[in-house]
Structure 1
Amino acid sequence: MQSASSLAFFALANLAMLCSAQFPAWPKAINTTTVSKTIVITGTVDAKNARFIAASNIGNGGQGEGQKAIFLLKKGATLRNAIIGSPAADGVHCEDSCNIESVWWEDVGEDAATFRSTDKNAVFKVTGGGAKEASDKVFQHNGGGTVYIKNFQVYNFGKLYKSCGNCKVQYKRKAVLDTIKATGSGKDIVAINKVYGDQAQLSNIQVSSACKVICELFDGNNSGGSKDPTSLKKYLPGQSGDGTYCVYSASAVKVV
């Protein structure tokens, strides 16, 4: 019969193995390619941990608007096992439903990825991977549909997920985040628009003590960028969401 101490040991070991599987070490790049023309993906591309950086005509990786994407994913396309280095320009654009699997942003540029679709049923899936040094947003949701982010790690960021606050055409958007590790400094895990009925569902979220806000509600608008959205409510670590827009319990978020 096993002792209580040995059972506790095996339980901790299993937990450590689970955490390791969910949040693997950052991969090492096998090579680096400078991209001077956006790479368009229509099917599935496995980059096998190659690194891609933007040429100057694509973008400088700062916060200036209008930079081009390194990758453009068409409807149903999948990008996996890619490393996006610096300068990252505007990262990855999905023009409709797409899959981003084990993609790593070493130094986020304007945004890591932007999701666009006129389809309210569009599905964007981000599985695995991670992002570092996002001065502003990591994932920007401009179109309709739902963004799923799972088993993702982020370090030093502004907003992990942002529903566009002033796009000319607005949608009711949804974000589902599960098993997220956010370390370093961070402003918001999710930022969504109350006025358009956005919803964020969160589970298994780990944040550092420097992460300020879990879910922030905004009074979005359709000014096309001429007017900034107004913050309405901030839900902090240790607080439950409201159950309507910010959907999670206090226990869904752990400060580590």
Structure 2
Amino acid sequence: MADNLDRRALLAAGIGFAAATTTIGISPAFAQGDEDVHALDQSTEVVKGPFVQPELGFETTALDPVISSQTMVLHYEKHHAGYYNKLNKLVQGTPYEAMSLVEVVRQSKQQDLHQDIFNNAGQALNHVQYWETLVPGGPAEPDDILKAAIDESFGRFDVMVNQIVEQSGSLFGSGWIWLVRTPENKLSIVKTRNGNTPIAEGGSPVLNLDLWEHAYYLDYQNRRKDHVRALLEKSINWRVVSSRFQDA
């Protein structure tokens, strides 16, 4: 009898939990511990401050079907805008108000008590760099200068693409994958968690891809690697990447 009661209690608890999760409206696409669902809850009203979200530079429909308009609107107008709004609130009355976004990232990274500022500044900056490298129907391959660096570092362009794709699938949770110029003028693949960036440590990234679920889940569900491959093969502005490599 006791076993039956315990079993019924467990079942009741399970039903109660299921009902609770339905009631509070957890979205299956974003019900992950590392996903920044708080950005969706933030007001769409722009918070005035020293940091202004740049214009996107292309229509939200421009990257379809690699990235759908629905994802672009959510990503740019809600998530990215949310980081700017939160950052402007956090820096009010602090020395960070007078800094550039890059300076805020580097300075706040060193302060344990300023991690909220670092997280939002990092995400604001990471997305700016990300949008700049996306282009509708971009060139299929890099120019000769960047291609030479890729060949020296990875052997061939397609080998680099495959390595980026595979490593993107191995990042646990949310974050970014980067192509970074090394001091030896080669290229290296780097992964960072959450809003971190190689720039915080003085690195020289030339390409970054967003591995947070909000960047791909509506279009690819759990197929993160398919999303990354589609971007690399169809939607990267390799001219921008090459320019960053030469300027780094």
Q: Give your verdict on TM over 0.5.
A: no
Larger radius of gyration: 2
More helix by share: 2
- With CA pairs under 8 Å and 6+ residues apart, which has the higher RCO, 1 or 2? 2
TM-score (norm 1): 0.29
More strand by share: 1
